[in-house]
């Protein structure tokens, strides 16, 4: 299967790596690098705007990497919402399938992320209101597509100079990540059921993370700063209080195991019920009552505290959904229900299949070739 020819492309070295990009993208400058790829800012001569170009790190080095690269491309193609990062362009300079080594994703350039912004300045409550409103609109959209983010944190919330926010890296967090890169993600924003390795968690894991992020915006420091998984649970329960007996019973009806650190003996998953260690741990906790959120967030308004009380609930079934959260008075000032759109369901059939490296490559090429740029000019002017 032939791809676009090299005509119209040029080569540039970026941090000892050769980038091969179309002539329209100029002035490449590295702005970030991570486990999965490098991002450069570039000037798009066709639209007269700055864009971000991501070059994935050896996307076809293994089945695992190829599957992840394919999924990232498909997710980005699917997303069309102003608070979720979308795709402006995708390209490769390779001419044939057997020579395909790399492909590049072009996205709106945002400039910074919430983590960096919080280090620079203390956010006023009306700014928190505006940013959390955008985050919840983005989550409502992602969740309506049937996708769970799983790793929402300040570094995954991109922000531009107009304080507009877009959610990055949605639906990509997988248990395989640490195996692939040795990179261990921060646990400060992880829901208790994720720490407990609850097998059947839902989209409300993202609501917990959103609550942790909002709390950090108001306090100017992380709310739950655990040193390991058990310490993280301890920190959480100092504020939420220890779980009621019926919560432990509910956990027992699920396949659950506790994530262990190297100091703790490995705990295997039981087919029925909760791993003994996790059950004993939760049962053995001294009873602590829930803390009054108004005392923790003494400088925040009642409406802001109300949002946190509905997000930071130990029982995932009790937490507000993104839609329910948007109805709260805290967001009334900025609210525009027409912007709170839902997505088409995302079809995960291919994502969940076990294919050969060559098949993943072929699927990826099809996705590259069938890409159509967004018609909405607002998406390209950010």
Q: Find out whether 254 and 315 touch, Cβ atoms under 8 Å.
A: no
Task: Express each pLDDT in 49-68 by its tens digit.
Answer: 999 999 988 899 999 999 99
The answer to whether residues 102 and 79 belong to one domain is yes
Q: What angle do CA 323, 329, 334 make, to 5 degrees?
A: 80
The answer to whether residues 27 and 74 belong to one domain is yes
Enumerate the β-bridge partners of residue 52.
41, 107
Task: Express each pLDDT in 146-204 by its tens digit.
Answer: 999 988 999 999 999 999 999 998 767 554 444 444 445 578 999 988 887 766 778 99
Q: Which domain holds residue 103?
A: 9-109+346-370
- The DSSP element (H or E) to which 210 belongs, if any, is helix 204-219
Task: Report the pLDDT value the prediction gives residue 177, as an integer from 0 to 100.
Answer: 44
Task: Report the pLDDT value the prediction gives residue 322, as an integer from 0 to 100.
Answer: 97
The answer to whether residues 122 and 194 belong to one domain is yes
CA–CA distance from 237 to each of 242, 291, 307, 368 (Å)? 5, 9, 19, 46
Question: What's the rounded Cα separation, in Å, for the pair 367 and 374?
Answer: 15
Write the CATH number for 92: 3.30.200.20
Question: What's the rounded Cα separation, in Å, for the pair 147 and 141?
Answer: 9
Quick check: is 2 in a domain? Answer: no
Quick check: is 381 in a domain? Answer: no
Q: Supply φ then ψ for residue 246, to 5 degrees.
A: -65, -25
Number of structural domains the chain divides into: 2
Task: Express each pLDDT in 297-328 by its tens digit.
Answer: 999 999 999 999 999 999 899 999 999 999 99
Low-confidence ranges of the chain (pLDDT < 70): 1-5, 171, 173-185, 198-199, 251-279, 376-382
The answer to whether residues 255 and 164 belong to one domain is yes
The answer to whether residues 95 and 121 belong to one domain is no
The answer to whether residues 67 and 168 belong to one domain is no
Quick check: is 379 in a domain? Answer: no
Q: Find out whether 321 and 207 touch, Cβ atoms under 8 Å.
A: yes
Q: Find out whether 355 and 154 touch, Cβ atoms under 8 Å.
A: no
The answer to whether residues 86 and 157 belong to one domain is no
Quick check: is 123 in a domain? Answer: yes
Question: What's the rounded Cα separation, in Å, for the pair 245 and 145?
Answer: 34
The answer to whether residues 153 and 275 belong to one domain is yes
The answer to whether residues 254 and 163 belong to one domain is yes
- Concatenating the DSSP letter of every residue in 215-242 gives HHHHHTS-S---SSHHHHHHHHHHHH-P
Quick check: is 153 in a domain? Answer: yes
Quick check: is 209 in a domain? Answer: yes
Here the tokens at position 319 are 């937490």
Enumerate the β-bridge partners of residue 13.
18
Task: Report the pLDDT value the prediction gives residue 264, as an integer from 0 to 100.
Answer: 40
Q: Is the pTM of this model over 0.75?
A: yes
Write the CATH number for 150: 1.10.510.10
**E strands along the chain, which residues?**
9-14, 17-22, 25-33, 37-44, 49-56, 89-91, 104-108, 112-113, 157-159, 165-167
The answer to whether residues 123 and 253 belong to one domain is yes
Q: Which of helix, strand or coil describes residue 358?
A: helix
Task: Report the pLDDT value the prediction gives residue 95, as an integer from 0 to 100.
Answer: 73
Quick check: is 221 in a domain? Answer: yes
Question: What's the rounded Cα separation, in Å, for the pair 330 and 130?
Answer: 10
Q: Which residues are catalytic?
A: 151
Q: What angle do CA 42, 47, 50 make, to 5 degrees?
A: 30
Pick the closest to residue 55 from 17, 23, 108 (CA basis).
17
Quick check: is 275 in a domain? Answer: yes
Task: Report the pLDDT value the prediction gives residue 86, as an integer from 0 to 100.
Answer: 94
Using N-to-C axis directions, what is the helix angle for 302-311 and 204-219, rounded to 10°? 140
For the sheet containing 49-56, what is the strand order? 25-33, 37-44, 49-56, 104-108, 89-91
Task: Report the pLDDT value the prediction gives residue 261, as an integer from 0 to 100.
Answer: 43
The answer to whether residues 245 and 98 belong to one domain is no
The answer to whether residues 55 and 168 belong to one domain is no
């Amino acid at each position: 299967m032939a791809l676009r020819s090299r005509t119209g492309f040029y080569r540039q070295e970026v941090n000892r790596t050769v980038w091969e990009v179309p002539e329209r993208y100029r002035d490449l400058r590295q702005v970030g690098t991570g486990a999965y790829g490098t991002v450069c800012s570039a000037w798009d001569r066709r639209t007269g705007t700055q864009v971000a170009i991501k070059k994935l790190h050896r996307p076809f080095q293994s089945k695992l990497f190829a599957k992840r690269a394919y999924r990232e491309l498909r997710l980005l193609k699917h997303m069309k919402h102003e608070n979720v990062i979308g795709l402006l362009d995708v390209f490769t300079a390779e001419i044939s399938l057997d020579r395909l080594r790399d492909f590049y994703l072009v996205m709106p350039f945002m400039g910074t992320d919430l983590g960096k912004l919080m280090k620079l300045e203390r956010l006023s409550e009306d700014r928190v209101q505006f940013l959390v409103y955008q985050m919840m609109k983005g989550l409502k959209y992602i969740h309506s597509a049937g996708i769970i983010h799983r790793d929402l944190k300040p570094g995954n919330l991109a922000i531009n100079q107009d304080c507009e926010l877009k959610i990055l890296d949605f639906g990509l967090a997988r248990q395989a990540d640490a195996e692939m890169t040795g990179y261990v993600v921060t646990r400060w924003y992880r829901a208790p059921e994720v720490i407990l390795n609850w097998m059947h968690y839902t989209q409300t894991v993202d609501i917990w993370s959103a609550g942790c992020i909002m709390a950090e915006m108001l306090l100017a420091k992380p709310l739950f700063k655990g040193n390991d998984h058990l310490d993280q649970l301890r920190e959480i329960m100092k504020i939420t209080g220890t779980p009621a007996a019926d919560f432990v019973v509910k956990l027992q009806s699920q396949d659950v195991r506790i994530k262990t650190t190297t100091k703790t003996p490995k705990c295997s998953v039981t087919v029925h019920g909760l791993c003994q260690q996790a059950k004993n741990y939760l049962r053995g906790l001294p009873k602590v009552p829930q803390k009054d959120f108004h005392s923790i967030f003494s400088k925040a308004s009642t409406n802001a505290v109300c949002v946190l009380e509905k997000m930071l609930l130990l029982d995932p079934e009790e937490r507000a959904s993104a839609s329910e959260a948007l109805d709260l008075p805290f967001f009334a000032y900025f609210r525009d229900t027409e912007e709170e759109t839902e997505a088409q369901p995302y079809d995960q059939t291919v994502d969940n299949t076990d294919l050969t490296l060559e098949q993943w490559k072929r699927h990826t090429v099809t996705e590259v070739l069938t890409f159509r740029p967004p018609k909405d000019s607002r998406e390209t002017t950010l």
